[in-house]
Structure 1
């Protein structure tokens, strides 16, 4: 089983299209984090009727919110533009194209060709995520394929700067791609009556988001799937995340837009939902394991590892726990590690569906510390922080009996001096 999982995960993890999407999202994290804070400042701290807004003059509050909103426009609201460039650039780079910026710019131009005549931030934000991903991948592949055709390149002789040679070699390729994209855009409107963005969002994006935000699917790939990969020492960033994160990103953007407009929030499950409730201390809520070790462990080695791991766990970084306890390939911890988040996600989903807590409406990155993440992502609702405390308590109770079981393990480190004066561990 281990060999089959490793082989499958390795194949997915090295697939250049998934790697390009993964690297693109990683590059946008600073923009999304900044946008998340600006949304929180503008619509929570300095919202009309709030404590901060009442304490300051109206012109100062207006200036602050204007600055926040303009900053959001430079990040979250142009995410599709950032992603089409980054994904195309990374894909061309992985395919060893010498100047990956050229296909990235062609992808950006093609994306604008596919956009409606009246372009708004909604089209350039996460609502256009699937259009941007498809454009980046398909245009880059087309560019790479046409670039292999020598008859499309102009032969330039003499002492000519490399930039000019590159521009002329790519000229016919760019013309062909942009014309084909324009024909596709025209045909889509003529046959369906919908712009390409609207057509793809209706036919592809909406159904995929519906599947990704359903509880059974979410539990399968984030409740159990990613934990299983981690148990075998495989990071899901290159396997699961590039497939499902775009859909969950669209879901949080839909929630954010509805919240700002004062409308009903559509999605319980979105990208912050995964981290706010299921990444308390790191994957599988391992902060609960650390607390359980402090409470019940009689082993000095585990307590020492817990002390070292606690500072990083506060920012949801748990590699010291995964490989120090260890959790990876540890059969005793398989059950709590792979099923704790499943239980927690079910509890969080039910609590949200019953209206006991708010739906999450502000993007927060996975490294946002516990409690701060719940307060920010919910738009300033302390009930979500209380739910995080409940989820952490569930994690502690789930790990506790297995920590007690680990007390029965005898771990010895006997040193034996060899003839060459080296030490070996027995």
Structure 2
């Protein structure tokens, strides 16, 4: 076993394994995923609203009226702009499942606590005036979406920990055995819910006496903004890619583990781009969720689609050819477990090099090309990660052909990096097969 393998097995895998099994990160990842179907549905309406076809806006206006775009994007508001609410419920639900306490009650309590932590006013500028006025008795929709996501995460974790602690201590109202289970669970949740609400209420009152005024302002200024600034830079993108793929070569799902930490940042960056698209302003973020899922992870983590194509077309060993036939179908839809565990890439000193190197180079090339305007930025449309290459690039950039071209360029880069390592690996497989045949002949 090489020194690299020994280091990965003895030093990296134990730490990464503990991170992967950490219940809060698992709940964070699974809870945010709950919002993804809604965001993808909202993205379909975004695509219809912003097709880059000359005369499209005028044609739609002639059929559906001047307000056609406003009405078409109603579902966008109903999906994107409640992601913090949905994620708050989902994270609390999943964490409660880990603790084996009632997840439905935990989700409902955290949802109430999140609303309690959110200011009940918004600023509104009437048409024809410059001065904004304060409108009370409302929940600002901006804080229910991506801007409130970090607060939702913290509230979900805090409220569920309080909920779990009180229940485990037995400080609950227990009903007689004949009471229906749903009623009994509601009464069990009564006292823990009261404690959660009181804690968040007191926290809000204390924060309102500070210059921050709200928990959203504290989290935004001290946590979300610094993380977003780093996470959406080229250095942040490279660090993200390196961590994801180092975990994969150890046999751990790197995208799921690191995504649990970076997912909220990438999702918020995606939504900032969506808001800019709707407002008709410049797209702000190069690095967002689609930057990785669409332009880097083609074929799955490690950009292994070209490796699958190599096996299918250029392989000389039977093992490589058969694996190529098995891997090409899933690879087109960005699923690469057959390659990662079948080649294998895990703990393989030859294949782990291009598996890590190719995505890093592709991240750099994509960032640079988007920064100089050679390729378009992802517009905030949440394209499913299983969308095949080229199609995914077109959809993620609002139908811009240069998005598909950027994917094609990255596929060429992946091919160039993988090919020499593929040749060495395939030659080893061929030698092993010949050796086996010689042994059988000698017998």
Fold match by TM threshold 0.5: yes
Distance in 2, matches of 1:61 and 1:332, equals: 60
- Once the two structures are TM-superposed, the CA of residue 317 in structure 1 deviates from its matched residue by 0.7
1:102 corresponds to which of 90, 102, 105: 105
Deviation string, structure 1 residues 7-66 (Cα, Å, up to 9, x no partner): 112111111101111111333332222122221112226xxx745445556344778745
From the superposition, tell whether residues 404 and 178 of structure 1 become closer, same or farther in structure 2 (CA, over 3 Å). same
Deviation string, structure 1 residues 349-396 (Cα, Å, up to 9, x no partner): 111111112221222232121112111111222112111111100111
Counterpart in 2 of 1:365? Answer: 384
Q: What is the root-mean-square deviation in Å for CA atoms of aligned residues?
A: 2.6
Maintained 8 Å contact 1:12/1:238? no
- Once the two structures are TM-superposed, the CA of residue 251 in structure 1 deviates from its matched residue by 0.8
- Once the two structures are TM-superposed, the CA of residue 328 in structure 1 deviates from its matched residue by 2.1
Counterpart in 2 of 1:420? Answer: none
Counterpart in 2 of 1:139? Answer: 159
Counterpart in 2 of 1:419? Answer: none
1:121 is the counterpart of 2:157 = no
**Structure-1-length-normalised TM-score:** 0.89
Number of residue pairs the alignment of both structures matches:
413
2:229 corresponds to which of 201, 210, 233: 210
Counterpart in 1 of 2:264? Answer: 246
1:379 is the counterpart of 2:398 = yes
From the superposition, tell whether residues 400 and 179 of structure 1 become closer, same or farther in structure 2 (CA, over 3 Å). same
- Once the two structures are TM-superposed, the CA of residue 238 in structure 1 deviates from its matched residue by 4.2
Partner SS state of residue 82, structure 2: helix
Partner SS state of residue 332, structure 1: coil
1:79 is the counterpart of 2:99 = no
Partner SS state of residue 240, structure 1: helix
Distance in 1, matches of 2:15 and 2:303, equals: 26
Distance in 2, matches of 1:144 and 1:69, equals: 40
From the superposition, tell whether residues 408 and 193 of structure 1 become closer, same or farther in structure 2 (CA, over 3 Å). closer
**Structure-2-length-normalised TM-score:** 0.86
From the superposition, tell whether residues 280 and 51 of structure 1 become closer, same or farther in structure 2 (CA, over 3 Å). farther
Maintained 8 Å contact 2:159/2:196? yes
**Consecutive unaligned residues in structure 2, runs of 5 or more:** 1-6, 122-138
Counterpart in 2 of 1:412? Answer: 433
From the superposition, tell whether residues 281 and 166 of structure 1 become closer, same or farther in structure 2 (CA, over 3 Å). closer
Distance in 1, matches of 2:207 and 2:403, equals: 44
From the superposition, tell whether residues 62 and 297 of structure 1 become closer, same or farther in structure 2 (CA, over 3 Å). farther
From the superposition, tell whether residues 149 and 324 of structure 1 become closer, same or farther in structure 2 (CA, over 3 Å). closer
Deviation string, structure 1 residues 137-184 (Cα, Å, up to 9, x no partner): 00110111122344x434655844343433333323222221221121
From the superposition, tell whether residues 160 and 270 of structure 1 become closer, same or farther in structure 2 (CA, over 3 Å). same
From the superposition, tell whether residues 121 and 369 of structure 1 become closer, same or farther in structure 2 (CA, over 3 Å). farther
Q: Which runs of 4+ in 1 moved over 6 A?
A: 61-64
